[in-house]
Amino acid sequence: MSVASPVEKAALSAEAERKQTLEFNKLQKRLRREIGQAIADFNMIEAGDKVMCCLSGGKDSYAMLDILLNLQRSAPVQFDIIAVNLDQKQPGFPEEVLPNYLAALGIEYHIIEKDTYSIVKDKVPEGKTTCGLCSRLRRGILYNFADAHGVTKIALGHHRDDILETLFLNMFYGGKLKAMPPKLKSDDGRNVVIRPMAYCREKDIARYAAFRGFPIIPCNLCGSQENLQRQVIKEMLQSWDKQHPGRLETMFRALCNVEPSHLVDPRRYDFKSLQAGSAEAQTCEPTVAGEPETFGRLDVLNL
C-alpha cells in the first residue's frame, strides 16, 4: 500500500478545505436568501428600526444574529441591532461566554440578570414541564426591557421547524389550528415580534452553527427534561423528513396557502350567509399585499 507524500497530503488537505469553504458559502447564501425573503414578505424590518436580537446561547439565536449583522451591511435601509441575553441564574450557567462573544463582535449588547430559575423551580412541581412558566417570565422581562430602551422590533430565533412543531402541538394537545406567526404584535400592543428565520430549516441552521463554531450554551432547565410534548413532535417530524423527503416543505407551503372556506370555523368564514345561485364560488382567493418599499426584495439585498 502506497503512502502519500507530504506534498500529496498537503494537496488533499487544501482540496478538502476548498470544498468546505464552498459548502459554507453556499449554505450562508441560502440562509441569507431565506431570511431576506422573510423580512421582505412580512415587512419585518423598516428604515430606522432598532432590532433587539434575543440571544439565548443556542445555535438558532447565534445564527440569527450572525446573518442579520451580515445583511445589515448590504441592506438598502438603515437599522440598528442590539443583542440582549437574559441570564436566568441557572446553576452552572457560564456567565462569561456571551459577554466575551458579543464584545468581540463590537456591537451593543445587554445582559439582563433575573433569577427566574428559582421561581420556576419553586412554582412547578417536580417532573412537570417548566417551559410554559419559564417562557412567560422570560417574555415579560424582555418586553419590558424593549419598551424601556426604544426597541421597535424584537427578533426571536424560531425557524421553520419550530413553526411546524407548534402547529402539531396545538392540533394534538390544544385542539387549535394555530402555528407560530413570522410577525406579531404583543398582547399589550407595546412590542412587535419578528422571526426572521421563519423560512429556514433547522438542519441548515445546525450545519451553519457548526461551521461558524458558535460557543453553544445548553439549557439546563428545560433542555434536560425528558418526554416533552415538543420533543415528541420534533422526533415525529424528523422521522417524516427522513422517510419522505420534501414532506416538511409541502406542509410549510400549506401554512402559507390557507383557505378558510374549506375549514370548519364559522368565525373565519361566513358559512351562514352562503346561498345557492351566488356567482361567487366558495373559495378563498389569496390576498396579495403590495411589496414593501422599505427593506426590499432579494435582488435589492444583493443576494
Q: What is the pLDDT along the chain (303 residues), one digit of tens a residue?
A: 555 666 656 666 777 788 889 999 999 999 999 999 999 999 999 999 999 999 989 999 999 999 999 999 999 999 999 999 988 888 888 889 999 999 999 999 999 998 887 887 777 777 666 667 777 888 889 999 999 999 999 999 999 999 999 999 999 999 999 999 999 998 888 899 999 999 999 999 999 999 999 999 986 555 445 457 888 999 999 999 999 999 999 999 999 999 999 999 999 999 999 988 755 555 544 443 344 444 544 433 433
Tell me, what's the pLDDT at 117? 79
Alpha helices in the chain (DSSP H): 6-41, 59-72, 97-105, 116-123, 131-148, 160-169, 202-212, 229-243, 247-255
End-to-end alpha-carbon separation of the chain, Å?
48
Contact present, 82 and 109 (Cβ < 8 Å): yes
The four Cα atoms 102, 103, 109, 111 give a dihedral, to 10 degrees, of 80
Tell me, what's the pLDDT at 281? 56
Tell me, what's the pLDDT at 34? 97
Contact present, 143 and 154 (Cβ < 8 Å): yes
Contact present, 56 and 82 (Cβ < 8 Å): no
- Output the CA torsion sign for 114, 115, 116, 119: negative
Question: How many Å separate Cα 176 from the centre of its chain?
Answer: 21
pTM: 0.83
If DSSP codes are grouped into helix, strand and coil, which group holds residue 4? coil
Domains of the chain in start order, with CATH, are 18-257 (3.40.50.620)
Tell me, what's the pLDDT at 287? 41
If DSSP codes are grouped into helix, strand and coil, which group holds residue 21? helix
Q: Which three cell numbers stand for residue 131?
A: 417551559
